[in-house]
Amino acid sequence: MSAGYNFAYLDEQTKRMIRRAILKGIAIPGHQVPFGSREMPLPYGWGTGGIQVTAAVLGPDDVLKVIDQGADDTTNAVSIRRFFARTAGVRTTTRTGEATIIQTRHRIPETALREDQVIVYQVPQPEPMSRLEPSRAETKRMHALAEYGPMHVKLYEDITRFGHVATSYDFPVMVNERYLMSPSPIPAFDNPKLDRMPALQLFGAGREKRIYAIPPYTAVRSLDFEDHPFQPRRATADCALCGASESYLDEVVTDDRGTRMFVCSDTDFCEGRRGE
């Protein structure tokens, strides 16, 4: 642990402020709570919201895992993991099962999470209706009155134009049958994992200065129509490395002549399967 930094980089008062926002978020599942987002030593869009939430809930005994699009070995994941190893001195891991806190960008691990784990999502745009209604004051009013008709207009347009709902990530969900929520840009494939998850789910948006949460075992429903039910999508292939047929796959281009392969986006899951 480097000298000169407070534990987990942020000062204690800031962490208390963030914890208050988190507690409020847990008390009102899916509701966006404003918080005083701080400048962090990485640019907006790289996970400033997630890193602040992680800093606020991290303790000396925690084991931290950071993933970026499912992978443990990309720049973003490696830097954030090293950041907390240096400023908090916590143990880090790439094993989903060993971690107590998992900070993630755009994926939920394939391995089912447990009650003693916390998953922290990095959120670029917390407002699910931002593309339909530009005014923040108006979307707040719509949340307050639970007026979510316009969100269905978006789904209607998708079905009309493409025959199915073409939103494949950041697919809007209804939390506890009350608040419409953006699940952050996770693939729609991961949406069913949000529902009644035993782990606590926290969402941090640094630039937009919002925190929200889903307490354990909370009902989360993806929006759909009665005659067009929600369908999670994945590439119709098996993982080229481990052969998994149920995991979410990345398409990797391997040369400039169009050769490609599908591999698990969750690197820990894939390595675990190959190690067996």
Partner 1 sequence: MSEQAMLTASGLGLQFGPVTALDDVGVELWPGEVLAIVGESGSGKTTLLNVLAGRVKPDTGRIEYRDPAGGAHDLLAMGAPALRALHRSDWGFVQQNPRDALRMRVSAGGNVGERLMAAGARHYGSIREIAADWLAQVEIDPARMDDLPATFSGGMLQRLQIARTLVTHPRLVFMDEPTGGLDVSVQARLLDLIRTLVARLGIAVVLVTHDIAVARLLAGRMVVMQRGRVVETGLTDQVLEDPQHPYTQLLVSSVLQA
**Residue whose structure tokens are 């998953």:** 119
Q: Could you tell me which of 169, 165, 123, 129 has the C-alpha nearest to residue 145?
A: 129
Shortest separation between residue 229's beta carbon and partner 1, angstroms: 10
C-beta of 79 vs 130, nearer to partner 1: 130
Distance CA 251, CA 50 (A): 26
Q: Which one of the listed residues 59, 149, 270, 275 is annotated catalytic?
A: 270
C-beta of 151 vs 181, nearer to partner 1: 151
> Quick check: helix, strand or coil at residue 173?
strand
- 206 catalytically annotated: no
C-beta of 132 vs 261, nearer to partner 1: 132
Residues that bind partner 1 (CB under 8 A): 141, 145, 147, 149-150, 152-153, 156-157, 159-161, 225-228
Q: Could you tell me which of 10, 17, 53, 52 has the C-alpha nearest to residue 35?
A: 17
- 163 catalytically annotated: no
Which helix (H) or strand (E) segment is 139 a member of?
helix 136-144
Q: Which one of the listed residues 30, 49, 70, 206 is annotated catalytic?
A: 30
- 59 catalytically annotated: no
Shortest separation between residue 151's beta carbon and partner 1, angstroms: 9
Evaluated on CA atoms 191, 193, 194, 195, the torsion sign reads positive
> In degrees rounded to 5, what are phi and psi of residue 257?
-115, 20
Is-contact 43 81, C-beta < 8 A?
A: no
Shortest separation between residue 33's beta carbon and partner 1, angstroms: 22
Dump the DSSP string for 14-29. HHHHHHHHHHHHHHST
C-beta of 12 vs 138, nearer to partner 1: 138
Angle 75-87/48-57 helices, nearest 10 degrees?
30
Shortest separation between residue 173's beta carbon and partner 1, angstroms: 15
Shortest separation between residue 64's beta carbon and partner 1, angstroms: 41
C-beta of 82 vs 141, nearer to partner 1: 141
- 258 catalytically annotated: no
- 149 catalytically annotated: no
Q: Which one of the listed residues 242, 258, 272, 275 is annotated catalytic?
A: 242
Q: Which residues are catalytic?
A: 30, 239, 242, 264, 270
